[in-house]
Amino acid sequence: MNATIVHESRGRIRLRLRQKQMSLAQADLLEAWLQRKPWIRKVTVHERTCCVILHYDGTRQAVLDEIRHFSWQEAEQTTALPAYNSRALNREFEERLVGKVLCKAACTLFLPSPLRIARVLWHMIPFVWRGLHCLLHRRIKVELLDALSISISACRKDFGTAGMVMFLLEVGELLEEWTRKKSVADLAQCMSLNVDRVWLRTSQGEVLVPVSQIQPGDAVVVRAGGIIPVDGLVLEGEVTVNQASLTGESIPIPKRPGGAVYAGTVVEEGECLLEVKQASGQSRYDQIVHMIEQSEQMKSAAESKAAHLADKLVPYTFAGSLLGFALTRNVTRALSVLMVDFSCALKLAMPLAVLSAMREAGRSHITVKGGKFLEAVAAADTIVFDKTGTLTHACPRVAQVIPFGGKEEQEMLRLAACLEEHFPHSMANAVVEEARRRGLTHEEYHSKVEYLVAHGIASTVNGERVLIGSFHFVFEDEHCQVPEGDQERFDALSPEYSHLYLAVGGQLAAVICISDPLREEAKEVLATLRGLGVSNTVMLTGDSHRTAAAIAAQVEVDDFRSEVLPADKADYVARLRQEGHTVLMVGDGINDSPALSEADAGIAISDGAAIAREIADITIAADSLWELVELRRIAMALMDRIHSNYRFVIGFNGALIALGMAGILTPAISATLHNTSTLGVSLRSMSRLTHKSDLSPHTNLQNSKIPH
């Protein structure tokens, strides 16, 4: 990259590229390339000035060395651009808004009076047509109010007022369209794939390659818990696929060779080889946009209430205008009332407030898929937590391997790793990592592996049935026994660890003790959430009662349930909701997905299973549980802002109507004050809801690194 350092400070560099101009595509490409770097904390690319602002970790020289070797050609080959980026959309609407303001100013200053009048009459046509359309369909809506006020002003030869009203209405419509498109696009981006690399089947074996290199006809491997990155057909294997995020189907669909699968759906069980039909899977973006545009389910109740209330208030505005005319016989007073409506402020400010809250959450590495879920977070009185990977760190380690029945410790760990390497669960990863750390190779010497969600793994080795999993699975479901003479050692197992039980031929062969340390902030986060109005905190886990009780005592949850299955978690959440509670569910694994779906708002940890992120309504980064506190504060601040907007809009516009009826305000002043207040409320709705000072001193949300 040919660039000059314009300014720098510790951890921050501002560069200017030595090129005359930068296209929107180049700006997106450069930003995406930089965001993939492990040392980057934040990056902003300004295409107009060809400037790049970097916030980084690590050494300055290492950063400059990588930037120096950047080339556009290499970036295009190695970096996959998202299906959507807001840069082009923002540029389009900024130019339209500036153009509209400049055109209005130029016409007012330089056009002679006859041409200004002709321009106003020409611009009246669409407004009048929309009003007539309402009349023809016998509906009293805001469009009729606008058409009547503009027409009466023109009939009274008050073209200045008519022109100003239309200008402010057009600006409001432009901002509303901008907001709507940006909101839909942001939601779609939140739900898009964000898959960087895939396993490509080649003649030399499986190779991990960037998704941008995948072409139609390639063969891609997807395993249990993985997201399908491309549209394609199943070539080999049988899988069950969760398509809820795309089709709304709640039951996983079995897919066999020849069956079609779609980008963005998730493999719940099994493993398959796919033939790519559409590269990169970005067709999913258009499908999601269509789904959002056709559905109102993501709107919060407050947004829907605002839209309905705005139309319900129109007849009262008409009544006020007619009453003013009947009492005073003064057209000016009646027109002053007609110039005021509640629609613009109510319909525009509420979505803007929700969008602002979603953006603010995004800056804290929290992805929210709709306003209704922020409303649920604000109203929640109960939060249910999964334990592993949520209240505890997502990287448990093997603390101890205790062999039974005369088995050898190293061999039992080798066997366990051989089975567990097939499944993307944190405890399975811990077993595989411990075998790697001890230098144990574990070539596959078992038959087909059967994975039972939330239970364990079953297979056959040397003709004997081998099981690894929970106490419930090994001893209660499969009726395995502790070897004779080992019962005392078994009873003495430490309760501070989680246990994986390995059984061979119906006899316990080893217990693998897993250390799953608590997140340092967990206890304080729960205490802070109670201070923010959460009255009930619950922990659900598949671990034994002893382990669960020890963890629950450390974090001080109000209640806990141990040895629960995925269906049990979902039933528990459903029961809480039936009792009248508003429930949030926080989890990270495949086994949490039913409960995430059942809650008023499901919150997934971003580095957990793909299916959990797909099903969840909200995703938080794995950096810190303090993000839950920030989410709660943003949601509560949003509802406070919406309620204050209601009070202001109703009160201020009601006062304008009263002053218009009293003859104190002219139609022009009434229209100007009304539209100015609408813009003011909208700008306030777009401002920050919380500030850094609101956060706990232990948080560092603004400076933490977005996981890649």
Least confident of 19-28, 147-156, 284-293, 354-363: 284-293
Q: DSSP for 621-689, please give it.
A: -SS-THHHHHHHHHHHHHHHHHHHHHHHHHHHHHHHHHHHHTT-S-HHHHHHHHHHHHHHHHHHHTS-S
DSSP letters, 2-43, are: -EEEEEEETTEEEEEESSS---HHHHHHHHHHHHTSTTEEEE
Domains and CATH numbers, the chain: 3-79 (3.30.70.100), 90-188+297-353+636-688 (no CATH), 197-281 (2.70.150.10), 369-393+519-622 (3.40.50.1000), 397-515 (3.40.1110.10)
Task: Identify the pLDDT of residue 589.
Answer: 60
Question: 291 versus 80: which is more confidently predicted?
Answer: 80
Lowest mean pLDDT among 22-31, 167-176, 484-493: 167-176
> Quick one: tokens of 708?
């890649």
Residue 392: strand pairing partners: 518
Side chain identity, residue 182: K
Three-state DSSP class for residue 482: coil
Q: Strand pairing of 601-605 and 618-620?
A: parallel
pLDDT of residue 280: 54
pLDDT of the residue at 486:
92
Give the separation between CA 328 and CA 132, rounded to whole angstroms.
27
Residue 85 pLDDT level (bands cut at 50, 70, 90): low
Chain centroid offset of residue 143 CA: 35
Short-list 117, 127, 115, 101, CA closest to 158: 117
> Phi first, then psi: what are they for 655, rounded to 5°?
-65, -40
For 176, which DSSP code? H
> Residue 235 pLDDT > 70, yes or no?
yes
Token digits of residue 476: 């209660």
Structural tokens at position 423: 């499944």
pLDDT grade, residue 702 (50/70/90)?
very low
What is the 3-state composition of the chain as percent helix, strand, coil, each rounded to the nearest 5?
Answer: 50, 20, 30
Helix H or strand E encompassing 426: helix 426-437
| Other residues' Cβ atoms within 10 Å of the Cβ of residue 493 | 15
Q: What is the mean pLDDT of residues 671-693?
A: 73
**DSSP for 226-295, written as a single string:** PBP-SEEEEEE--EEEE-HHHH---SPEEE-TT-EE-TT-EEEEEEEEEEEEEGGGTHHHHHHHHHHHH-
Tell the residue number behind the tokens 């959440």, with chain if given.
Answer: 573
Q: Is the model's pLDDT at 296 over the cut of 50?
A: no
Question: At 446, is the pLDDT very low, low, confident or very high (cuts 50, 70, 90)?
Answer: low
Residue 579: the pLDDT is 92
Say if residue 593 is exposed, middle or buried (CB neighbours under 10 Å; 0-12, 13-18, 19+). Answer: buried
For residue 244, pLDDT over 60 is answered with no
Q: Is the dihedral of CA 415, 421, 425, 427 positive or negative?
A: positive
15-19, 346-350, 358-362: which is most confident = 15-19
- Flag whether pLDDT at 689 surpasses 60: yes
Instruction: Name the band, by pLDDT with cuts 50, 70 and 90, for residue 16.
Output: very high
Q: What is the pLDDT of residue 338?
A: 63
- Sign of the Cα pseudo-torsion (612, 618, 624, 629, in order): negative
The reported pLDDT for the residue numbered 137 is 82
Residue 151, pLDDT score: 84
User: Distance between CA atoms of 332 and 109, rounded to whole angstroms?
Assistant: 26
For residue 125, give Cα distances in angstroms to 3, 131, 527, 617, 676: 52, 10, 60, 44, 24
Beta bridge partners of 620: 366, 605
> If you average pLDDT over every residue of the chain, what do you get?
78
- Please name the amino acid found at residue 6: V
CB atoms within 10 A of CB 88: 13
What pLDDT band is residue 331 in, cutting at 50, 70 and 90? Answer: low
The SS3 call for residue 556 is coil
C-beta of residue 433 within 8 angstroms of C-beta of residue 549: no
Q: Over range 240-268, report the average pLDDT.
A: 72
DSSP string, 387-415: IIIIIB-S--EEEEEEE-TT--HHHHHHH
Which is more confidently placed, 693 or 627? 627
Q: Which of 150-154, 377-381, 515-519, 666-670 has maximum average pLDDT?
A: 377-381
* Average pLDDT of the residues in 676-704: 61
Residues 95, 564: Cα–Cα separation, whole Å: 56
- Say how many residues make up the chain: 708
Cα 343 to Cα 349: distance, rounded to the nearest angstrom: 10
pLDDT at 530: 93
Helix 113-136 vs helix 142-155: crossing angle, to nearest 10 = 140
> Residue 624 pLDDT more than 90?
no
Q: Which residue has the higher pLDDT, 573 or 518?
A: 573
Contacts 24+ apart (CB under 8 A), 699-702: 699/624, 699/626, 699/629, 699/630, 700/624, 701/364, 701/365, 701/624, 701/626, 701/627, 701/630, 702/363, 702/364
**Beta-bridge partner residues of 605:** 620
Each residue's pLDDT tens digit, 86-108: 788 888 888 888 998 899 889 88
| pLDDT for 291 | 47
CA distance 385 to 391: 7
| Alpha carbon distance 18, 1 (integer Å) | 9
Reported as a single tens digit per residue, the pLDDT across 480-496 is 999 999 999 999 888 77
What's the confidence (pLDDT) of residue 333?
A: 66
pLDDT one-digit tens code per residue, 645-667: 888 877 887 787 778 777 777 76
- Token digits of residue 169: 């209405």
Handedness of CA 438, 509, 449, 429 (dihedral sign): negative
Amino acid 188: pLDDT: 56
Instruction: Look at 6 and 496; give whichever has higher pLDDT.
Output: 6
Query: Range with the lowest mean pLDDT among 143-147, 190-194, 251-255, 426-430?
Result: 190-194
What is the Rg, in whole angstroms, of the alpha carbon atoms belonging to the chain?
31
Top mean pLDDT of 204-208, 267-271, 344-348, 408-412 is at: 408-412
Rounded distance between C-alpha atoms, residue 379 and residue 582, angstroms: 7
C-beta separation of 140 from 318 below 8 A: yes
Q: What is the largest CA-CA distance in the chain?
A: 107
How much is the pLDDT for 700?
40
- Is residue 701 scored above 50 in pLDDT? no
Q: Running DSSP on this structure, what letter comes out for residue 518?
A: B
- For residues 121 and 107, give the distance between their C-alpha atoms in angstroms, rounded to a whole number: 14
pLDDT tens-digit map of 364-404? 778 787 778 888 899 999 999 988 778 877 567 898 999 99
How far is it, in rounded angstroms, from Cα 637 to Cα 684? 13
Q: What is the pLDDT of residues 42-76, one digit of tens each?
A: 889 998 889 999 999 888 998 898 888 888 888 88
The share of the chain scoring above pLDDT 70, in percent, equals 77
Q: Which residues contact 492 (CB under 8 A, 6 or more apart)?
A: none
State the Cα–Cα distance between residues 168 and 308, nearest whole angstrom.
Answer: 22
Query: Which percentage of the chain shows pLDDT scores above 90?
Result: 17
Whole-angstrom distance, CA of residue 624 vs CA of residue 622? 6
